[in-house]
Amino acid sequence: MVKQQLPLSMQDNTPTQSEELKNPVKSDPRAIGRIICGRYKILHVLGSGGFSDTYIAEELQFPNKSKCVVKQLKLNNLTQEGLELIKCLFNLEAQTLKKLGQHPQIPKLLGYFAAGAEFYLMQEYIDGHSLSQEIPLGRAITEKAVINILHDILQILVFVHENRIIHRDIKPSNIIRRHSDRKLVLIDFGAVKEVSSQQLENSEQSAFTIGIGTRGYAPDEQYFGRSHYNSDIYAVGMMGIKALTGIAPHELAKGSNGEVQWTDLALVSQPFQAILTQMVLNDARERYQTASEVLADLEQLIAAEYSSSFAELMTWEVGGIEDFDAERSILENTDVTHLNSDTSVDLYKLTPS
């Protein structure tokens, strides 16, 4: 069976909802105010990509007219084969959100339907800003800040992979910092790949193999449609490297062995450097195999940081024994070995468990 492959250049580059009203996208002005299915009124255009248009809409049937995100599938100028493929991806995104939306850091699916030849998907609107704003080009951020970001993302990724889903397009613009609780939210599941039990047992590829992702964040195997769970780990690692260096991942040089050359461009500790390096190894077989493995090493590093902070505290000159005991109590009662999705890890602050 001949495999059909779409190159990375054909990916859907629709901006995320976090970039919304600041930079309106040029689109059909007739879309604004249009009511879909007698229920959703379009307020703003978020973006227009190769496969879909995305809008902010309000739910007219709710008393408070709450906002949601509406994605409309574009089916123009496609061959029948391409049409079926895009429909398949769209339905897969809907089913993925339905399955994963129970996680507090993944948008909930509100509904999806077909109206004639048009297909729509409605999902929860996340009020926040893109992670791109926190790790901009040309500016490096601290190692501790990067550790906090990666820790939060990896916890989401463990859940995603446990549900046999590979995201395939993890990047800063697909992560939103939610304003209400400062948690990171993973969005845009339009490029996901679901791994069935049969696929786990059988190495044969399906009829359609889609090379999709974003240059610099997608590992080599993803270019050829052979994504693995640790392809997502590679993308998260490249986000960390971008944050530490301020350099776009696709602009980083690679050695003759295919490895990213970045360690001389960042101020980073050896233990964290080792974690990031293993996350982005060119050979997927040598890379971390699961997000849980990365998370375990990262939490061990965090625990060492707390231990080091306690050792430093023991040498401080304090004003009185009561102040010292209070600080020591905070450090000794901080549990860093059983971190979970409700734990906010901030290496600048010490919070009792």
Q: Which residue type sits at 268?
A: V
DSSP code string of 184-232: EEE---TT-EE--HHHHH-----SB----S-TTTS-HHHHTT---HHHH
Q: Can 53 be counted among the known catalytic residues?
A: no
Mean local confidence (pLDDT), 94-104 = 88
Cα 299 from chain centre: 19
DSSP 318-331: -S-HHHHHHHHHHH
Least confident interval from 25-39, 81-95, 234-248 = 25-39
- Residue 142 confidence (pLDDT) above 90: yes
Indicate if the alpha-carbon torsion angle 51, 118, 31, 39 is positive or negative: negative
Fold of 128-294: Transferase(Phosphotransferase); domain 1 (1.10.510)
Name the nearest CA neighbour of 305 among 272, 265, 258: 272
* DSSP states along 29-82: GGGTT-EETTTEEEEEEEEE-SSEEEEEEEETTSTT--EEEEEEE--TT--HHH
Does residue 33 carry a pLDDT above 90?
A: no
C-alpha 145/C-alpha 248 separation (Å) is: 18
| Amino acid identity at 61 | Q
> From its phi and psi, is residue 225 left (phi > 0), alpha (psi between -120 and 50) or beta?
left
Partner residues linked to 123 by β-bridges: 69, 109
pLDDT on residue 125? 92
Mean pLDDT of the chain: 77
* C-alpha to C-alpha distance for 54 and 44, rounded to whole angstroms: 9
pLDDT band at 114 (very low <50, low <70, confident <90, very high): confident
pLDDT digits (tens, 9 = 90+) for 198-230: 343 333 333 333 457 899 999 999 988 889 999
- At residue 305, the pLDDT reads 80
Determine which one of 12, 53, 152, 169 is catalytic. 169
Calpha distance 85→212 (Å, rounded):
13
Residue 279 has pLDDT above 60, yes or no: yes
Q: Which position has the token pair 């901006």?
A: 15
Q: What is the pLDDT of residues 150-187, one digit of tens each?
A: 999 999 999 999 999 999 999 999 999 999 999 999 99
Boundaries of every domain in the chain: 8-124, 128-294
Provide the token pair at 54: 């995305």
pTM of the model: 0.75
Rounded Cα distance, 277 and 35, in Å: 49
Instruction: Give the tens place of pLDDT for each residue, 296-341.
Output: 999 999 998 877 765 665 554 444 444 445 544 544 454 444 444 4
The CATH class for the domain spanning 8-124 reads alpha beta
- Which tokens hold the place of 76? 């123009």
